[in-house]
Each structure stands twice: as C-alpha cells, then as structure tokens.
Amino acid sequence: MVLCVPRTTIFPDGAWHGLVTSGLERALRTIRATAVYRPRGQVEEDASQQQIIPYCIVQQGDGGFLLTRRLRRSSERRLHHLYSLGVGGHVNPGDGEDGDPVVGGLRREWSEEIVCASAATARLVALLNDDTTPVSRVHLGLVFLVEPHAGTAAVREIDKLEGESLGLEAMRRHYLNMESWSQLVYDDLVAGAPERAEQSPLVVDLPAAP
C-alpha cells in the first residue's frame, strides 16, 4: 500500500513538467487532505494516481552532494546503472501513525537507505513532476535538501547502490547517464536550491542513521 493523490487534484490546472518551487504549502495541504493508500500493484502504471515520493538530496559537509548508481540487484529494473542524486521511496501506511505521513515516510526512508552518524536537517525545496518516462509519470516527488549536522552520509544497501560525494562541476560528466529526476534536480541545484532552502515551508529533523 502506497500513498497516492489523484492527478486531477494535485494538478487542478493541468500537469506541469519539471520542478516547482512556489505553492509548496498548498500542495502539502492538498496531499494531507486528499491522499489515500492504494495497492502499489494497481497504481504502478496508472497515471491518474500520483504516488508520493519524499526524495532526499544529500548535501555533505564538504559542499559535495551524494551521487548514487543503481546496481543490478536494485529492485527497480527500469533504472539499473543510472545515476541518481536522490534517495527516497514510497509513503506506507505505518508512516502516518505518529502524525504527518510525509514526514514519517521521509524519516523511515532516510533510516533505511542512509548511514549517517549524526542527525540531519531536511528542508522541502520543490515539487517534481516528469511525464517523460513510464517510471516517473506515476510519481510525484517532494524534493528535500538534507544536510547532516556533522560528517557525511553514505548509502546503506551497498549491494544495490554505490555512492560517492561529488561537487556539481565534477558531477557534470555523469549528467547524461542520470535518471530524469536527477537531471532536473541537478539543474535546480546549479540554479541555487541550497540558498532557497532557508525559506522552506517544511523543515524536518532526522535522527542519526547508524
């Protein structure tokens, strides 16, 4: 079961493409008020439903960003060997037991996918929609910029992902081999997303992920 919102509800004026950095509070209110859990198998190819994906972009203390690559054992075969700037996943029913399911899903995904010895702060910086691929058209990304308070973060499932910390200029050589979401996020980072994060409408404290 994954958290979904009807496409016509989240896009009342028609779907846009790319990243949107305004109206984030309205979108959060809409998700909280109208989203429901549906069987993942029924919505994976149903573009009338947008599956909500908290998507974490990790900015390391050295100024670099965590870039990962999906290996053959990754569960999402359609994205094998592509590079990604984000880690995250679906929101599940248990994520809403203590309050906001988006926050619960974000915290769970962080602990499942990341190793980080310190606490971190996540700030919502954009919504992401991309209808250009079968994978992306059924998902709506909530893009969070995450900064560990100390040290660096690394991927947990090293049998499925490999990761390294790179600055934006060094990362540019991987751009054409990035997932479509990550290309959009990369462009936004270059355009100044870290500076915009200070005005985020949703700031979440993340515990250390040993």
CATH number at residue 91: 3.90.79.10
Query: By C-alpha distance, which of 153, 143, 139, 133 is closest to 185?
Result: 143
Q: Retrieve residue 45's tokens.
A: 């190819």
Q: Alpha-carbon distance 22 to 130, whole Å? A: 17
Q: Alpha-carbon distance 134 to 21, whole Å? A: 24
Total-model pTM = 0.91
Provide the domain count of the chain.
Answer: 1
The residue range of the domain holding 194 is 2-206
pLDDT tens digit at each of 210 positions of the chain: 999 999 999 998 888 899 999 889 999 999 999 999 999 999 998 989 999 999 999 999 888 999 998 776 545 454 457 899 998 899 999 897 778 999 999 999 999 999 999 999 999 999 999 988 888 889 999 999 999 999 899 999 888 888 899 999 999 999 999 988 999 999 999 988 888 888 899 999 999 988
